[in-house]
Structure 1
Amino acid sequence: MGRFGISGSVRWQGRHHRLLWSGLCALALAACGGGSEDEDVAVAPQQEDRRATAAAFFPPGAIPTDAHLRGMWSPVYSWPLIALHAVLMPDGSVLSYGTTTTGKQTGYFHYDVWDGTSAPNAGHLTLPNQTGTDLFCNAQLVLPQAGSKVLMAGGDNFVNGFTTNTGNPNTNIFDRANNSLTLGPNMFRPRWYATLTTMPNGDTFIQGGRDGADRSEVRTTGGTFRLLSNVDTSTLDWYYPRNYVAPDGRVFGYDTFGRMFYINVAGTGTLSLLGTIPANYRGQDATSAMFLPGKILHFGGASNGAIVIDINSGTPSISTTQSLSSQRRWATATLLPNGRVLATGGSEVYNEEIGVNNSAEIWNPSTGQWSVGASGQVPRLYHSNALLMPDGSVLVPGGGAPGPRLNLNTEVYYPPYLFAAGGVRATRPAISSVPGTVDLGKTATVTVNSSKAISRVTLLKTGSVTHSFNMDQRFLELPFTTSGSTLTVQMPTKGTDAPPGYYMLFVIDSAGVPSEAKFVRMTVGGTGGGLSGSYYNNLTLAGNPVFTRNEAIDFNWGNTSPGAGVPTDRWSVRWSGSVKAPSSGSYKFQTLSDDGVRLWVNNALVIDDWNNHGPTTRTSASINLTAGQSYAIKLEYYDNLGGAQVALRWQAPGTSTAVPIPISALEPGAPPPSGSGTGLAASYFSNATLTGTPVMGRTEAVNFAWGTASPGSGVPVDRFSVRWEGTVNAPSGGSYQFQTLSDDGVRLWVNGVQLINNWTNHGPTTNTSAAISLTAGQRYAIRLEYYENVGGATIQMNWKPPGASAYAAVPANQLFPN
């Protein structure tokens, strides 16, 4: 942790180089840990990905006879640097960084890629960081879009041979395709020790970090940033907030002092402060993992105690579970393929080798009990990590910088499920084929080769871990049916349960032995992950709901309850939100229900079958919908006795069959009225280049003639710049033209297309765009950038809608900050 600082300096004297760490270089460079920053090492051609053909490495030698009960550890292997940060890539390789090759605290010089199949001291490609960013103690995760890229946000600053323990605003992208590291756009805030969270719509939520504690922000899927100006997080600790996507689509989190909160990232955001975790469970050296949707295991820190935080009802509920065998400060929680949680590393005293616990402890969520497994050899304290690998083993690297020792090494823990009695490896089921891309709410065909029946299919998000916190791991149990060697696997229906991105899919046989994983990419669902469903423990939708969650509607509960607190009979549910048509034309809506159901679309009742009945299909009359437009939708359902079933379907234009409405077309919020906007999100800079940290942010329409006055507090009268971002609503369909009046430079983008570009010094000048076709009721991304040089300052954004004869200012009620 940079708060401790380092002594000495690190100098780059030789030309930039690439280091290929392999078994051969280990002999030449002291087991892959040697070499200096002055050396130039020849580079072998990059090997192609071997994940599909190469077996995962397993250490030679005898297997302990109790390995099927306690697991086993590998020998200690050298690693090219201290892996403060470790990311599992979607091809099974591991990206790590955080120090020099001699263990000095800074991410300014190197990063490393291990192929994931070689022995841990071989198969490395250690590369120079040429971005000028010190990656030390930043935040990182794999972006959910196709392409195997890692977003790195913030970090330290390396000045005159030292880290300064201050934040930087940089973002960088690691691209596994060519192992490159590229500097990207700056965030609104510098951040050192921030947290990244993948949202259901594919955006990345960013919170915390030193020098960025006051505001959170969002990186959109397009790579731009949106400051949550209404979310004041300055009362929360900035140190790696423990954040998770909650079942209702908000971000749930807590800081190192145990202060819990929700953040709604829509628009300029809202913050809701909650209660506090009891003092004996707190600490920046605690760890946690969401082991089931809405359920978080938290342990480490101030005691050996462990708690479960349940947020499924919306209000956090904290319960205790069995304590660990000892206090484990700086332990790391890792989700396993069978849904259990592994604890590795830690000691009783903060970052000291006092009361070190090298054992693997595994928590069973079914029993709430811990079991103590085999022990590793090396103390893993501050800056150590743990990462689930596709073969079911757990890579446990790092520790130090600072610390009692510099762990330029790693161990691998092999859990008990990989072994059979008698000190032998278990026979494992194998996945023969699986789709590379899967969709929320749909099924996937998986073929397997197994001598035993398959009893479970599980899904785990690829890990991205630093400072005892894995920002991206998630576990889901998937329902499936079997026909011979073919499994039909139901993917999650909610984007809040399975945010988009890369997952490992495991099959587990009847003996509890998991396969090696296959990687799948979960696509982006609707921005909220379905309609908002409120469940009631009565037939009449009366009183307060027992719980609320976002979901698509395609359920056959049979004689089981739909969720905690709801009985198996005599209950009801109301789903509401909006539906977006993917194409224009005539739609028919259809329900399948047992019992009562009624459906409204665009505020009109289109299906009404509110009575007791067995499984019954009802179809609406035809309804004309416009592509891209959102329409209000509400479905009410009740179950009386016996089986419970309800599905919402539609028959799209040009089709003859009704299919379930996909989660990507459903959103929990009602469509905004066309006149409900408040303006664009404005970021004002005290320079003419839109660089650095904004000095002021606000939401507004763009219609200003400041003359020689300042636009606001902290903004100079000359040489300032502004960026306005958000969406613009088209109140009617047809051809639009946009127009700016500016003094000085201006440029405008609508729907990702640059329409106006006059980035020059000039007096009051009108620029007019070409015509652009917009659809009624649809919102389009819009960005306007402006700078003032000297003299008078003017900027106006106008438009001419269809049928209008003159240009007028784009009104605030058609502009939205998100």
Structure 2
Amino acid sequence: MTAATAASGAPAAPRPPAAAHAHAAGSAEDEAQHRAQDLVGVPLSEIERTTAENAARIQRETGARPGKARLRASADADPGVSGRWSPVVNTPVVPVFTAVLPNGKVLIWDSVGDNAAESYPVHDFTRAMVWNPADDTHKRVDLQGTNLFCAGFAHLTNGNILVAGGNANAQLAGTVRTYVFNWQTETWTRGNDMASARWYPSVTEMANGEEVIIGGGPATAEVYQTNGAIRQLTNFTKYSARIYPFMISRPDTQLALFGPYNPGYTITTAGNAAITGTANRDTITRDYGSFSTYDIGKTLVVGGGSITEDGVAKRATKTAVIVNTNTGLNPAVTTTGSMSAGRRQHNATVLADGSVLVTGGMTSAAVNMGVDLNAAVTTAELWNPVTGQWTVLSAADRIRQYHSTAALLPDGRVMTGGGGICGVCMTAGYLEKNIEYFSPPYLFKSDGSGAPADRPAITAAPASIGIGAAFTVTSPQAASIGKVGLVALADVTHSVDQGQRYIPLKFTVSGTTLTVTGPPTGGVAPPGHYMLFVTDTAGVPSVARMVQVAKAPTPLMSPLKNSTGKCVDIPSSALAARTYLQAYTCNNTKAQALTRFTDNTLRVFGMCADVPNSNFATGQRIWQYGCNGTGAQTWQFRTDGTVRPVRNTALCLAAASTANAAQVRIVTCTGAALQKWTW
């Protein structure tokens, strides 16, 4: 495809699929439009040259630089109210894909590099860099062998970046390849191939350190295991669309998929997977909307789509909803405040205090689904999770729409960048090969002086913390600390951050010491690196300390095995409540992937091991039942290997015999092998 053909039309994103095929790949026409939109097969040197020529022509004709905001906050605006944008900083790589690394630097890549034009459409190169926000320096870390454009990616437990899929050729084919970027050596390594080629998938880490890969063409999901092998989730085939799905690990260690289309799913990802819940989020197809997990099990989904709103057709919605995965297998969905203007192609970024910042985007899809400089939104907006209301903040210098990103940095600022690399972008002269930093109001004094706020400091913190385990943090300002929280490192592209979340932590104060309790489950905080912030009662956050969250001391999504070699098992992986548990040969299937919660429940498929009708009598069989917080579902896990109901600790969980399919029940504790369990 030549630059001329790429720029000749006004390409659009894929149309929302019909309800009967909600997550199927788009039609041939849709894919052709999408291919043109992303300029597949056109070298970046040609994209940049053509875009620059058009930008210069448009500036001569109109006096305005394409991509430059028409509205900026006045120079004397109070940054303690509206925040403050930095000057624009040029970059050698367009920030289309952005991952914050455990050392505070940022991995950024875009697409094929500056090879000779005649060498394309062979996609054997990716232009990449490691950017240092501390001094705006960079190191090129280009990848040879493939093009990671349109890949999915997420952090691994050790802080490295797993990248899945990408762009194979000018025909819009995905790739089966995976790569891992080592953040310490700043080098790439090729991983195992997936079963199917993917283009626009999402990747999410789970409580056991596995990475789930969904979307991008094939319907069958896959899992990148902790040993690097990849298995297919043959029981989840509900999402194949070539648009990044919205998904996150749930507190109960299952996966929540909740957008951009309806319906959404709750998925057990162990073994070959199981769908345990199906529910609609709302009535809007929120393509190119954004989301941010701001609290335990709670995610803000905001904007996106092309609907009739306020009497105007083909508008991006300004509405937002909260998806709460704490409430059961099907999330509860509630409305919250609406933004001042609708947006799509924007980014929602969780901040150091758990509030959510929205930057960039466009109000309309009438002219184009990805870029319309005349419909740009350049003001930031801040969502308060306590009030559910939005506050309009100052405006950026540059328009950020299709192929732009935003990510929270350890110093509490948000780095935004990118935009461009599409057919209509070239025609409009729109290519933002640069970044801007936004300093939220919490970084400034509230007295109107515009001076930097006095920030609390973390002078000591552990390098690693555990699930549910206490740890100490030292701060001279400990007495004035109002919040302690973890923020996961960003993995953001195409309005979707595949890693971010804010996790509030419980704490007590004594002198200059904060005694903090780690996250309640690995579903809340999958293992890996997080930014640890303390925020004072005036709302000012510290600079973050990096900490590594380990897997739970007793493994999550793991079998419960007795000393005769049998595991607690759900017969035939049944999803129904009141299914009695059995003991069966350990086989590493989803039927044996139990999660021990810090509330002393034992869960599988989102349900709890339960003593029926609270009948604490010897010989009572145990079944799975909806978690309800009663004493019939709480257990003691003792160091002698016994598992005992809290309501009657003279009884022990036991298998009836060593045979397969033996009943699991509670009986008088005797110390027998059938009553001894290990994780």
> Normalized against structure 2, the TM-score is what?
0.71
**Does the 8 A contact of 2:296 with 2:504 survive in 1?**
no
CA change 1:552–1:108 in 2 (3 A) is same
CA change 1:460–1:11 in 2 (3 A) is closer
User: 1:384-406: CA deviations, max 9, x gaps?
Assistant: 11100000000001111113411
CA distance in 2, matches of 1:192, 1:453: 48
- Residue 426 of structure 1, aligned match among 453, 471, 474: 453
CA distance in 1, matches of 2:172, 2:137: 32
User: Which 5+ residue runs of structure 2 have no aligned equivalent?
Assistant: 1-33, 53-73, 306-316, 561-567, 569-576, 579-593, 602-627, 657-664
- Residue 207 of structure 1, aligned match among 214, 234, 242: 214
Structure with higher Rg: it is 1
CA distance in 2, matches of 1:494, 1:392: 25
Give the AA of the match of 2:139.
L
The residue aligned with 1:229 is 234
CA distance in 1, matches of 2:529, 2:638: 26
1:411 to 2:446 alignment: no
The residue aligned with 1:112 is 129
CA distance in 1, matches of 2:501, 2:84: 24
CA distance in 1, matches of 2:138, 2:124: 17
The residue aligned with 1:6 is 39
**Does the 8 A contact of 1:495 with 1:528 survive in 2?**
no
1:325 to 2:340 alignment: yes
- Residue 150 of structure 1, aligned match among 161, 174, 186: 161
Q: How does 1:379-458 map to 2 (within 5 A)?
A: 379-402=399-422, 403=425, 404=428, 405-420=430-445, 421=447, 422-450=449-477, 453-458=480-485
User: 1:230-282: CA deviations, max 9, x gaps?
Assistant: 22225x53421111112332211134333211222122222356233334x32
CA distance in 2, matches of 1:65, 1:256: 36
The residue aligned with 2:597 is 551
Give the AA of the match of 1:150.
I
User: 1:269-299: CA deviations, max 9, x gaps?
Assistant: 22356233334x3232111112222222111
**Does the 8 A contact of 1:529 with 1:552 survive in 2?**
no
Give the AA of the match of 2:304.
G
The residue aligned with 1:135 is 148
Q: How does 1:362-761 map to 2 (within 5 A)?
A: 362-402=382-422, 403=425, 404=428, 405-420=430-445, 421=447, 422-450=449-477, 453-525=480-552, 526-528=555-557, 551-553=597-599, 572-575=630-633, 586-587=640-641, 600-602=652-654, 630=677, 665=679
CA change 1:451–1:252 in 2 (3 A) is closer
CA distance in 2, matches of 1:85, 1:124: 15
CA change 1:598–1:252 in 2 (3 A) is farther
More strand per residue: 1
CA change 1:589–1:241 in 2 (3 A) is closer
**Does the 8 A contact of 1:530 with 1:551 survive in 2?**
no
User: 1:605-647: CA deviations, max 9, x gaps?
Assistant: 8899xxxxxxxxxxx7766699xx856xxxxxxxxxxxxxxxx
Structure 1 residue 479, shift from structure 2 partner: 0.9
The residue aligned with 1:640 is none
- Residue 171 of structure 1, aligned match among 178, 181, 187: 178
The residue aligned with 2:188 is 181
**Does the 8 A contact of 1:138 with 1:192 survive in 2?**
yes
Structure 1 residue 418, shift from structure 2 partner: 0.4
Structure 1 residue 459, shift from structure 2 partner: 0.8
CA distance in 2, matches of 1:517, 1:296: 22
CA change 1:102–1:68 in 2 (3 A) is farther
Structure 1 residue 444, shift from structure 2 partner: 1.0
Give the AA of the match of 2:338.
S
**Does the 8 A contact of 1:462 with 1:502 survive in 2?**
yes
- Residue 340 of structure 1, aligned match among 345, 355, 361: 355
CA distance in 2, matches of 1:227, 1:171: 15
Q: How does 1:45-84 map to 2 (within 5 A)?
A: 64=76, 66-84=78-96
**Does the 8 A contact of 1:579 with 1:630 survive in 2?**
no
**Does the 8 A contact of 1:348 with 1:356 survive in 2?**
yes
Structure 1 residue 140, shift from structure 2 partner: 1.0
Number of aligned residues: 526
The residue aligned with 1:776 is none
CA distance in 2, matches of 1:529, 1:156: 36
Give the AA of the match of 1:316.
P
Structure 1 residue 133, shift from structure 2 partner: 1.2
1:296 to 2:299 alignment: yes
Give the AA of the match of 1:136.
F
Give the AA of the match of 1:340.
S
More helix per residue: 2
Three-state SS of the structure 1 residue aligned to 2:462 is coil
Structure 1 residue 487, shift from structure 2 partner: 1.2
CA change 1:406–1:290 in 2 (3 A) is same
CA distance in 2, matches of 1:63, 1:223: 52
**Does the 8 A contact of 2:557 with 2:595 survive in 1?**
no
CA change 1:3–1:489 in 2 (3 A) is farther
The residue aligned with 2:98 is 86
The residue aligned with 1:752 is none
User: Which 5+ residue runs of structure 1 have no aligned equivalent?
Assistant: 14-29, 34-61, 533-540, 543-547, 556-569, 609-619, 632-664, 666-818
User: 1:747-766: CA deviations, max 9, x gaps?
Assistant: xxxxxxxxxxxxxxxxxxxx
Give the AA of the match of 1:199.
M
Higher relative contact order (CA 8 A, sep 6+): 2
**Does the 8 A contact of 1:337 with 1:392 survive in 2?**
yes
- Residue 270 of structure 1, aligned match among 254, 261, 274: 274
CA distance in 2, matches of 1:469, 1:107: 25
CA distance in 2, matches of 1:287, 1:126: 29
Structure 1 residue 228, shift from structure 2 partner: 1.2
Structure 1 residue 208, shift from structure 2 partner: 0.7
**Does the 8 A contact of 1:231 with 1:270 survive in 2?**
yes
Structure 1 residue 107, shift from structure 2 partner: 8.5
Root mean square deviation of aligned Cα: 3.5
- Residue 223 of structure 2, aligned match among 218, 239, 243: 218
- Residue 194 of structure 1, aligned match among 189, 201, 214: 201
CA distance in 1, matches of 2:223, 2:36: 26
1:258 to 2:258 alignment: no
Structure 1 residue 129, shift from structure 2 partner: 1.4
User: 1:783-805: CA deviations, max 9, x gaps?
Assistant: xxxxxxxxxxxxxxxxxxxxxxx
CA change 1:290–1:305 in 2 (3 A) is same
Structure 1 residue 348, shift from structure 2 partner: 1.2
CA change 1:553–1:327 in 2 (3 A) is closer
CA change 1:588–1:428 in 2 (3 A) is same
- Residue 286 of structure 1, aligned match among 289, 299, 303: 289
CA distance in 1, matches of 2:286, 2:354: 25
User: 1:56-101: CA deviations, max 9, x gaps?
Assistant: xxxxxx9855111111111111011111110000010000001356
The residue aligned with 1:538 is none
CA distance in 2, matches of 1:573, 1:274: 28
CA distance in 2, matches of 1:193, 1:238: 5
CA distance in 1, matches of 2:84, 2:124: 32
Three-state SS of the structure 2 residue aligned to 1:354 is helix
The residue aligned with 2:619 is none
Give the AA of the match of 1:346.
G
CA distance in 2, matches of 1:66, 1:577: 54
CA distance in 2, matches of 1:278, 1:82: 34
Give the AA of the match of 1:94.
V
The residue aligned with 1:536 is none
